[in-house]
Amino acid sequence: MQAQGKHAESLKLGEKTLKDVEKWADEDVNNRPEMVANLHSLIGNAHLEMGNYTKALHHHNIDNEIATQQ
C-alpha cells in the first residue's frame, strides 16, 4: 500500500497488525521480534510520508532498538 501512496491505509493496517502480533508469545512465533520491528518500520514510514515526523522517529527508534537487541 505504501508504494501506491496509500499511507493512511497502510498506517491503519500496520497499527492493527502490530496490536495483534504484540499479543502473541515469542515461543509461538519464531520471528516475532523481527515482525514487530518491521511493523514499527512500516508505521514509521507511513508517518514520515504523512509529515508526522515525531511519530515517525518514535517508531523508527523502536525498530532500531529491537534490531540492536537481536
Walk along the chain (70 residues) and give the pLDDT tens digit of each residue.
Answer: 666 778 899 999 999 999 999 999 988 888 999 999 999 999 999 999 999 999 999 999 999 999 999 6
First to last CA, the chain: 28
Q: Which set of grid coordinates corresponds to residue 30?
A: 519464531
The whole model's pTM is what?
0.90
Beta strands in the chain (DSSP E): none
Give the model's pLDDT for residue 6. 85
